[in-house]
Chains A and B, each alone.
Chain A
Amino acid sequence: MKPWIMALLLCVGTFLTGYAAATPVDTYQFKNQTNQERGLKLARSMRCPQCQNQDLVDSNSPVAHDLRIQVYKMVDEGKSDEQIVQYMTQRYGDFVLYKPRMDSKTYILWWGPLGLLICGAIVIGLLVRKQRANKDSNEAFTENDEQALKAILQDEDNK
């Protein structure tokens, strides 16, 4: 087998095995399909407080297990999304939310990229305008200038 094909297969294989082993299996029985979808979606939107970079569904840690079962139960009890999110943030703070809420502390997160984009646009706009202005002045290349240039070039050649 050609080495590059082997390398490619190895890469793909690595990704596939990681994917298959990722999610622990719970025995929790939802009341119905809708609840299951909502419960999983909610638990996926929250971060495991212990392992930092996994959501509640992906994590094997005992805390994540407790919390996702709690989320599932609350969904089955008919609690609204806001109530469940409130339950979690009251205990674990905004840290558990993967998508930060909009408040005075997170304005820069939400609007920062847009602000940078606008800044960039302004800078580019200014640069383009400046360049255009320069170009206009360049066109005023007078007869005198031309002669001066020729003189210089000849001077160079004679050296």
Chain B
Amino acid sequence: MKKFFLFLPLVTFAVLGFFLYKGLFLNPQQLDSALIGKPIPAFELQKLEDENIKLTNKDLIGKVSMINVWGTWCPSCKFEHPYLMKLKAQNILPIYGINYRDERKAALHELKVVGDPYALNIFDPMGKLGVDLGVYGAPETFIVDHNGIIQYRYAGPIAEPVWNNTLLPIIQKLQQQAKARGAS
């Protein structure tokens, strides 16, 4: 017992050291989403290309998909864009775009110039859907299963390593599950 008390400071130091050391490698910019396991929030917003067409959360359900939040004001989105184009060409899953806190004209112009990787373009100028999704910056990407349940959120631009190591395995797993349950 006495020995144990003698070693107590060492044990405390080791435990503290372990957690602090682990803390060094956490990324404070990478917050957990509160929406994992929850359905896409209900919304009704205009289509980016046509203000008369309304899009709702139901338009995004049915396939394993990716929702990408972007804006023309966001440099990291520009950085990410070529990779999204590549993903579109590979035709792995539909990518839905949320044009976040942006101007319609600027956004349309941008898509025309650099290409449109999105299956649907949702226009969210007031950031309403963004707040409902817990978006705190752009770009942010959500992986959604075929039932419209959010399974993963990635904050930051998508590039090769993230895609190969993190996103693609999750997507493949979800697509297999969807197949097993008879969805498309």
Name A residues whose Cβ lies closer than 8 Å to a Cβ of B. Answer: 49-50, 52, 62-63, 66-67, 70, 89-93, 95, 123, 126
Chain B interface mostly helix, strand, loop or mixed? loop
**Chain B 122-137 per-residue mask, 1 if CB under 8 angstroms from chain A, else 0:** 0000010011111111
Cα distance A93–B137 in the bound complex, in angstroms: 15
Q: Tell me, rounded to whole Å, the shortest Cβ–Cβ distance linking A117 to chain B.
A: 14
Closest 3 A/B residue pairs (Cβ): A93-B34, A49-B136, A91-B134
In the complex, chain B residues whose CB is within 8 Å of the CB of A126 = 5
**Is chain A's binding surface mostly helix, strand, loop or mixed?**
helix
Contact present for A66 and B131 (CB under 8 Å)? yes
Q: Decide if B101 touches A93 in the complex (CB within 8 Å).
A: no
Q: Which listed residue, B5, B34, B136, touches A90 by the CB 8 Å rule? A: B34
Q: Which of B19-43 contact A (CB under 8 A)?
A: 28-29, 31-35
| Cβ of B73 to closest chain A Cβ, rounded Å | 9
B131 and A50 contact, CB distance less than 8 A: no
A122: nearest residue on chain B (CB-CB)? B5
Residue of B nearest to A127 (CB): B5
Complex: chain B residue closest to A48, CB-CB: B136
- Whether the pair A123, B5 counts as a contact (CB closer than 8 A) is yes
Selected from A62, A66, A89, A123, the residue in CB contact (under 8 A) with B34 is: A89
Of all chain B residues, which has the CB nearest A90?
B34
Q: Is the beta-carbon distance between A50 and B136 smaller than 8 angstroms?
A: yes
Contact A67 B131 (CB under 8 A): yes
- In angstroms, Cα B19 to Cα A62, docked, is 33
B131–A91 CB distance below 8 A: yes
